[in-house]
């Protein structure tokens, strides 16, 4: 959480230090969660989804929670990375490291193109411009059938083998291997995001969120800081998209749909936009609930909407933010 100095009150012995530890070692804590996730969740596939969407929400929150900018166009960044990885594998048979490597580059590239236009605006206009631009990206993906498969989605994103140094080759079709790949990539990205938040740029971003006019008067170029935040957010979300493509073996065109943009907003708020781990927790809660609810009703969106509303009304800091708040009290 930002530099807020919380007043000390009576603490629950034992649990408050745990919360403090988690906040001080947010990267290591997240790594532990990544290691434990497949053991805690009913299926490895679900765990993989949680990690990919958790990373997506984390990347989104770099802009939203830390930068104070609400984008409704992040589907284009997730989709950009997903298609880049998908095309690399399906069209070019790229090895795993190249297929994953192009995803953040593509996400950052799409983000740069969107950001150059979007950072001139703020507030609701920023949300609208990013939404409009992502709809353009959706349209391109829909039309470029030769590359993306159009409305049928990009099929055949099959990563058959994961070749490691010293001649080790893992079976890319084994869900556990995929989880490992996705979790390691996400774990590195999480460390990178944490590092960005601790950087001078991270401080500038927080200042901008708190008071734009003052930040500008201090000498910060508001547009440059925002554009960089958007591009970095795009790199993280692009990577998440690439990991999702490998996980699903397909890139549906819906990846680019604006509902996917809305999902990022929802996951971040559900988990807690003011905490580092919140977006991950939001993704875990959302997907777990979805898989449970989908078993007895087809009205999942209704349930999701209700849960989200309740959360916004009663847990302003999201599931994770509220939990940490309780522990530290």
For another protein, the binding residues (CB under 8 A) are 2-5, 195-196, 198-204, 206-207, 210-211, 213-222, 224-225, 228, 232
CB of 122: closest distance to another protein in angstroms? 15
The span from the first CA to the last CA of the chain, in angstroms, equals 15
Which residues are registered as beta bridge partners of 161?
Answer: 171
For another protein, the closer of residues 53 and 220 by Cβ is: 220
For another protein, the closer of residues 212 and 254 by Cβ is: 212
Which residues are registered as beta bridge partners of 163?
Answer: 169
For another protein, the closer of residues 8 and 297 by Cβ is: 8
Task: Return d(Cα 303, Cα 242) in angstroms, integer.
Answer: 29
For another protein, the closer of residues 26 and 178 by Cβ is: 26
CB of 143: closest distance to another protein in angstroms? 35
For another protein, the closer of residues 189 and 253 by Cβ is: 189
- Alpha-carbon dihedral sign for residues 317, 320, 321, 325: positive
CB of 96: closest distance to another protein in angstroms? 25
b vs e for 187-217, b when ≥16 Cβ sit within 10 Å of the residue's Cβ? bebbebbbebbeeebbebbbbbbeebeebee
For another protein, the closer of residues 83 and 276 by Cβ is: 276
CB of 299: closest distance to another protein in angstroms? 39
**20 with 325: CB under 8 angstroms?**
no
CB of 133: closest distance to another protein in angstroms? 23
CB of 196: closest distance to another protein in angstroms? 5
CA angle 73, 255, 153 (to 5 degrees): 140
Instruction: Give the number of other Cβ atoms within 10 Å of residue 147's Cβ.
Output: 15
Task: Return d(Cα 58, Cα 168) in angstroms, integer.
Answer: 32
Task: Return d(Cα 204, Cα 221) in angstroms, integer.
Answer: 10
For another protein, the closer of residues 144 and 224 by Cβ is: 224
Helix H or strand E segment including 313: helix 300-314
CB of 231: closest distance to another protein in angstroms? 10
């Amino acid at each position: 959480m930002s530099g807020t100095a919380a007043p000390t009150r009576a603490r629950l012995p034992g649990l408050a230090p745990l919360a403090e530890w988690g906040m001080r070692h947010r990267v290591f804590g997240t790594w532990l969660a990544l290691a434990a996730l497949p053991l805690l969740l009913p299926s490895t596939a679900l765990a993989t989804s949680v990690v990919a969407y958790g990373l997506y929400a984390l990347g989104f929150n770099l802009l939203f929670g830390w930068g104070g900018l609400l984008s409704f166009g992040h589907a284009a960044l997730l989709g950009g990375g997903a298609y880049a990885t998908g095309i690399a594998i399906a069209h070019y048979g790229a090895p795993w490291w190249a297929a994953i490597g192009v995803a953040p580059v593509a996400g950052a590239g799409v983000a740069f193109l969107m950001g150059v236009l979007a950072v001139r605006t703020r507030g609701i206009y920023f949300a609208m411009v990013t939404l409009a631009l992502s709809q353009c990206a959706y349209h391109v993906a829909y039309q470029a059938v030769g590359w993306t498969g159009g409305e049928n989605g990009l099929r055949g994103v099959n990563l058959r083998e994961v070749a490691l140094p010293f001649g080790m080759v893992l079976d890319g079709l084994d869900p556990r291997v995929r989880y490992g790949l996705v979790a390691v990539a996400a774990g590195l990205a999480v460390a990178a995001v944490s590092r960005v938040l601790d950087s001078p740029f991270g401080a500038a971003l927080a200042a901008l969120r708190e008071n734009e006019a003052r930040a500008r008067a201090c000498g910060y170029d508001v547009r440059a800081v925002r554009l960089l935040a958007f591009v970095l957010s795009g790199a993280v979300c692009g990577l998440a998209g690439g990991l999702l493509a490998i996980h699903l073996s397909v890139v549906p065109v819906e990846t680019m749909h604006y509902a996917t943009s809305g999902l990022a907003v929802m996951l971040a708020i559900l988990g807690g936009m003011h905490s580092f781990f919140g977006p991950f927790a939001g993704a875990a809660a959302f997907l777990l609930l979805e898989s449970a609810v989908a078993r007895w009703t087809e009205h999942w969106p209704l349930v999701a909407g209700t849960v989200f509303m309740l959360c916004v009304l009663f847990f302003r800091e999201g599931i994770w933010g509220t939990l940490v708040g309780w522990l530290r009290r």
